[in-house]
Amino acid sequence: MLVILPLTFNGILQSIAEPAAIVSTTSGLLKGHSSKGVMSFLGIPYGADTGGQNRFLPPKPPEPWENVRNAEKYGPQCSHQKPPMYGDITKILIYSDLPTSEDCLSLNVWTPDVNTEEKRPVMVYLHGGGFFMGSSSDRYYEGGNLARENDIVVVTLNHRLSVFGYFYLGPDAGPEYSSSGAVGMLDIVQALTWVRDNIAQFGGDPGNVTIFGQSGGGMKVSTVMAMPSANGLFHKAIIQSGPGRWLNTPKEASKLTADILRKLNLTAADTKQLAAIPADKLLDAASGGMRLIPVMGNNAIPVHPFADSAPEQSARIPLLIGAMKDESTNSLLSDPEWRSMDEGTLKQRVAALVGKQDAQKVIDMYQSSAPNDPPQFIWASILSDSGFFNETYPLADLKSEQPSSVYMYRVDWRSPVLGGIIRAAHAVDLPFVWDNVDVSEALVGKGPDQERMAQMMSRSFAEFARSGDPNVPGVIPKWPEYNKIDQATLIFDNQVRVENNPDQEKRAYWQAFKASSD
């Protein structure tokens, strides 16, 4: 339902170009805000307060409201602790400063209009920050440009994090807590259920929903693909710099739980006391909860998402997946030795990673492909490849065995900020996918190259959400489907191109190394 609200000043009707809008949802009426051809509805509750006696339990529906609810402000971030950050990384990555709360299950919608006759593709974003921090209100995720320029509906959401989302209490807590190690992911499923039930009122198509996420958000996408309760709630998936193949097992999670409970002088059966502990004290006991990730082996997440095979329930879900060429450089900004690294330090670090017997072999492999790179960038490339790409291609290989299409990309475009030292770092793709270069100068700079990257990435990602095929003639070259033989990869750069089997020798080494280490 759309209602246009006229505005008055001193009793005189004022004509405005972009009137406010009221939309009916399953919980009540919402008033949004219109700007630059996009309507936004912020801070929409999709679940009840998760604090107190609701802590560690699956999400509950939100309380309905009687009057029109103003949806012009983001909701609070879900409770978490940010790890200490220092040095230049604080200059390029800027996070939301909104307050935190356990009453945080809210989402945000951007849409070109709320005319229910036209059903637009829907893109639902799962934010990064691992499973322990982050929020939907970070500046990079403002969805107005992406929605307007591609005629789609964009949704972002908050969900429980850290100890509140992934604290495994085990059988001692009782059957009602059987999903305690996965309730943050169940929040996401509840948000997707809200999308199914309400998004048509916002001009979206509940039958054409794409989930996408970067970093920890990509891992959440991988996990949702293996959750039975999410089956049918989404139809395409995009994983950016976050291939999630394995989760915590109950055995692994139990060790983490025991350490936290020991600090609190409680047991898993002390659920009333655990529900009453102040949020900050619980986070302190969990040391921020960086090691707490979803726990599998329960009704919410029965199996690892992509361990030895792709999840059968998502066999017909097309996947777009990729990563940055220099994923590790922004984290290395906090390493005091990185910029001045010499050959000796490089060899010591590589030996610590792969063993003395392989250290020089690995260094030679990387120096042969980048002979002009100093030790600091050789080390950055080794860290990037041994981590993100070591799982990205195997995940794509598993998914390509299913009947749905897979598309692979890599971003090689180098950011000029900080003298160009971060290159194609983790998160540099965010301003481009979201078409938000205008608020991301600290991360990517500004200029025609940045605008072109934003056009290519935002339009191809949105087209994938629309049709399951990211090809946009005249914007990017032909992007072929991925298969295990050719491993065709679109390289986003100033000169966009397709490469088959890129860096095959390096990836083969890291796969063999991982297999020998398991």
- 125: nearest Cα among 142, 103, 148, 111: 142
Query: Which are the contacts of 175, defined by CB distance < 8 A and separation ≥ 6?
Result: none
In this structure, the answer to whether residues 236 and 383 fall within a common structural domain is no
Q: Tell whether 53 is covered by a domain.
A: yes
Q: Tell whether 363 is covered by a domain.
A: yes
Tell me, what's the pLDDT at 115?
65
In this structure, the answer to whether residues 297 and 334 fall within a common structural domain is no
Question: Both tokens of residue 149?
Answer: 């320029």
In this structure, the answer to whether residues 284 and 428 fall within a common structural domain is no
Q: Can you give the residue range of the structural domain that contains 236?
A: 37-60+71-317
Supply the angle between the helices 504-517 and 356-369 in degrees, to the nearest 10. 160
In this structure, the answer to whether residues 264 and 294 fall within a common structural domain is yes
Tell me, what's the pLDDT at 322?
98
Tell me, what's the pLDDT at 18?
60
Cα 306 to Cα 300: distance, rounded to the nearest angstrom: 16
Cα 109 to Cα 124: distance, rounded to the nearest angstrom: 9
Question: Both tokens of residue 16?
Answer: 């405005």
Cβ neighbours, 10 Å, residue 172: 12
Cα 208 to Cα 190: distance, rounded to the nearest angstrom: 17
- 248: nearest Cα among 189, 324, 180: 180
Question: Both tokens of residue 335?
Answer: 């390493």
In this structure, the answer to whether residues 360 and 244 fall within a common structural domain is no
Spell out, as residue ranges, where the chain has pLDDT lower than 50.
1-17
Question: Both tokens of residue 408?
Answer: 């692979």
Q: State the pairing for strand pair 29-31/20-24.
A: antiparallel
Supply the angle between the helices 504-517 and 375-400 in degrees, to the nearest 10. 80
Q: Tell whether 119 is covered by a domain.
A: yes
Cα 162 to Cα 81: distance, rounded to the nearest angstrom: 9
Cα 145 to Cα 142: distance, rounded to the nearest angstrom: 8
Tell me, what's the pLDDT at 13?
33
In this structure, the answer to whether residues 448 and 493 fall within a common structural domain is yes
Q: Tell whether 281 is covered by a domain.
A: yes
In this structure, the answer to whether residues 334 and 403 fall within a common structural domain is yes
Q: Tell whether 9 is covered by a domain.
A: no
In this structure, the answer to whether residues 269 and 402 fall within a common structural domain is no
- 210: nearest Cα among 198, 192, 193: 192
Q: Say if pTM beats, i.e. exceeds, 0.85.
A: yes
User: How many residues does the structure list for the chain?
Assistant: 518
Q: Quick check: 241 and 283 in contact, CB under 8 A?
A: no
Q: Tell whether 6 is covered by a domain.
A: no
Q: Tell whether 10 is covered by a domain.
A: no
Q: Tell whether 26 is covered by a domain.
A: no
Using CB atoms within 10 Å of the CB of residue 372, give its burial: 0 to 12 exposed, 13 to 18 middle, 19+ buried.
exposed
Q: Which regions of 204-303 does DSSP assign to beta strands (E)?
A: 204-214, 236-240
Task: Report CA-CA distances (Å) from 109 to 36, 128, 433, 437.
Answer: 15, 18, 17, 20
List residues with catalytic annotation: 215, 327, 426
Tell me, what's the pLDDT at 85?
85
Q: What is the CATH number of the domain that holds 363?
A: 3.40.50.1820
Q: What is the DSSP letter of 481?
A: P
Domain boundary, last residue among 266, 294, 317: 317
Cα 301 to Cα 67: distance, rounded to the nearest angstrom: 38
Q: What is the pLDDT of residues 330-385, one digit of tens each?
A: 999 999 999 999 999 999 999 999 999 999 999 999 999 999 999 999 999 999 99
In this structure, the answer to whether residues 359 and 507 fall within a common structural domain is yes
Q: How many domains does the chain have?
A: 2
CA 161 to chain centre: 13
In this structure, the answer to whether residues 81 and 162 fall within a common structural domain is yes
Q: State the pairing for strand pair 33-35/77-78.
A: unpaired
Tell me, what's the pLDDT at 117?
84
- 56: nearest Cα among 257, 230, 225, 251: 257
Domain boundary, last residue among 290, 317, 344: 317
In this structure, the answer to whether residues 347 and 395 fall within a common structural domain is yes
Q: What is the pLDDT of residues 458-517, one digit of tens each?
A: 999 999 999 999 999 999 999 999 999 999 999 999 999 999 999 999 999 999 999 998
In this structure, the answer to whether residues 304 and 170 fall within a common structural domain is yes
Question: Both tokens of residue 2?
Answer: 């759309």
> Dmax of the chain from CA atoms?
83
Domain boundary, last residue among 317, 332, 359: 317
